[in-house]
Structure 1
Amino acid sequence: MRILVPFLGALCVTAGVSAAQAAPDPALLRAIASPDRTPNMVARDPARHPAEELSFFGVTPSSSVIEIWPGGGYWTQILAPLLHDHGRYTIAMGPQDGDRTERHFALSPDFQAMLAAHPADYDRLHTTRLGAHDTDLGPPDSADIVLTFRNLHNWMEAGDTAAILAGIRAVLKPGGILGVEDHRANTKTPQDPKAENGYVRQDYAIALIEKAGFKLVGSSEIDANPRDDADHPKGVWTLPPTYALGATDHAKYEAIGEADNFVLKFRKIGT
């Protein structure tokens, strides 16, 4: 059984691991409140808890941060202005359109339109790329924090987890932080190594990442959703915001809300 804890309390769900939650930086709160954020992104804040999550990972306005596979840009709309003046923000593009040869790394047209709409927010944004055969994210030991939101299950499905984690570890400074969020599978269910339903057991994720040269230093329940039993006809994509079943049982899945997610904080060990 998981116990939900308040934002300013101890956020420990893993034996032997504790993490104190600091109050959000005022600059972070300003970035979240920016009128430049699109309404559909803002609407997801109650499920995604951006102030709490970025504070938990230790992101500050002066951090050097790489975000892996930024998707539709939910976190980009917050991190780019937050890090604009004193930090460094890099987004790592992934292979597009299922291109497993990794010749095609690009930002989607919608993402590019988002950047073009508010150039003052994004004029210092850096880009790199990341795939199983293209893992050079930047100079070794150069990033304070690498963040990946709901991507681990994709790496598992492709069999790319070890290579991608090695690339992330290489770019992090000694003692640098890897922040991981993903959809949490039921512990009573054996883990599918391919994670084809989009869910990953928390214990399985920790073992994978620690094997790659990291140490778990904190786990947070800020994105927990006890209404999600992780058992849906179209996997996690049955739930919002995807609604893979369309109108079928829409109200049911809307009431469940976005998936139950673990939030894990790792530190790079060694050099």
Structure 2
Amino acid sequence: MKTVLFLKSALATLAVAPLLLSMPAQAQAPSPAVAAAVADKTRPEKDTQQDAIRRPAELIAFANIKPGDVVMDVWPGGGYWSRVFSTLVGPKGKVYAYVPAEITGFKSDPLALAKAIPAEPGHGNVEAISYPAAEQPQSDMFNKVDVVWTFENYHDLYDSFMKGADVNAFNQAVFKRLKPGGYYIIVDHAAVAGTGLKHTEDLHRIDLATVKAEVQKAGFVLDGESSVLAIPGDDHLLKVFDPAVRGKTDRFVLRFKKPSR
């Protein structure tokens, strides 16, 4: 009888194991350093007002960013993430605010915005850089970065204003810049499963499976997936700027790792 019960228990465990492995990782508790960086009183109000929908403490904890790290913030926009990363990595760390050359002509002048961050008190470890999205790194940038981060902008690599940028080459360049064991974090608006790249420009959404396949093709291993920004009720056929869903879109969070060998 004991043997039968043991076999039933073992079979039940084997049946559940694949489900557990496929479940997205949940939010993990931020370290004191991460919590302090997010709670920094010098952060602009325009940044802190977005904390409720961006969940910075949980996301940065998931990204495994720590003091002393070198981080590349892809498409930094107004500098929300660059500032938090700057405070977190501290004087021994470095933040590259990377603006793709293809968007430097925007009316908002993204490169000027990135260049203004290092002049702010406490953010002298930030450096604004710009080059074409598909450009491969020079020898001095190989294996230099601990974390490459892109928040709600991966889909934009496919927009017409990117002038046909080679996304596969972009991912390969990210791979080369990262240290062995480094992380590539992608957060983006979810599209209807199976739609691939169909809605990258009109709805500003991208299919989760497509992103996974593209990044893994560049040599990365999928290391984690978080549901901290998941919104089950989001209509994936609505544009992300639609008032009905703006700030409440279903977003996936992926952590890819560059193999150590």
TM superposition score category, shorter chain reference: 0.7 to 0.9
Higher RCO (C-alpha under 8 Å, 6+ residues apart): 1
Q: Deviations over 1:193-241 (max 9, x none)?
A: 5621211111111011101111101100011122321222xx2222xxx
How far the C-alpha of 1:258 sits from its partner, in A, is 3.0
The residue that corresponds to 1:139 in the other structure is 141
Query: Counting helix residues as a fraction of each chain, which structure ranks higher?
Result: 2
Q: Secondary structure at the match of 2:205?
A: coil
Counterpart CA distance in 2 for 1:13 and 1:91 is: 38
- Structure 1's unaligned 5+ residue stretches are 1-11, 101-105, 239-249
The 1:221–1:73 alpha-carbon spacing in structure 2 relative to 1, beyond 3 Å, is same
The 1:144–1:154 alpha-carbon spacing in structure 2 relative to 1, beyond 3 Å, is same
The 1:71–1:237 alpha-carbon spacing in structure 2 relative to 1, beyond 3 Å, is same
How far the C-alpha of 1:132 sits from its partner, in A, is 3.2
The residue that corresponds to 2:241 in the other structure is 237
Percent identity, aligned pairs only, is: 28
The 1:133–1:58 alpha-carbon spacing in structure 2 relative to 1, beyond 3 Å, is closer
Question: Is the contact made by 1:156 and 1:193 (CA closer than 8 Å) also made in structure 2?
Answer: no
- Structure 2's unaligned 5+ residue stretches are 1-17
The 1:270–1:63 alpha-carbon spacing in structure 2 relative to 1, beyond 3 Å, is closer
Counterpart CA distance in 1 for 2:65 and 2:93 is: 10
The residue that corresponds to 1:29 in the other structure is 35
Report the residue type matching 1:262 in the other structure.
Answer: F
Counterpart CA distance in 2 for 1:194 and 1:131 is: 23
What is the Cα-based RMSD across aligned positions, in Å?
2.8
Question: Is the contact made by 2:71 and 2:96 (CA closer than 8 Å) also made in structure 1?
Answer: yes
Say whether 1:124 aligns with 2:114: no
Q: Count how many residue pairs are aligned between Structure 1 and Structure 2.
A: 236
The residue that corresponds to 1:67 in the other structure is 73
Q: Identify the range of structure 1 (212-221 vs 223-232) with the bigger mean alpha-carbon deviation.
A: 223-232
How far the C-alpha of 1:192 sits from its partner, in A, is 3.0
The 1:89–1:51 alpha-carbon spacing in structure 2 relative to 1, beyond 3 Å, is same
Structure 1 length-normalised TM: 0.76
Q: Deviations over 1:95-117 (max 9, x none)?
A: 255759xxxxx74445555554x
Structure 2 length-normalised TM: 0.79
Q: Deviations over 1:166-214 (max 9, x none)?
A: 1100111112111110111122x52235621211111111011101111
Q: Secondary structure at the match of 1:153?
A: helix
Say whether 1:267 aligns with 2:257: yes
Question: Is the contact made by 1:68 and 1:130 (CA closer than 8 Å) also made in structure 2?
Answer: no
The residue that corresponds to 1:84 in the other structure is 90
How far the C-alpha of 1:160 sits from its partner, in A, is 2.5
How far the C-alpha of 1:154 sits from its partner, in A, is 1.1
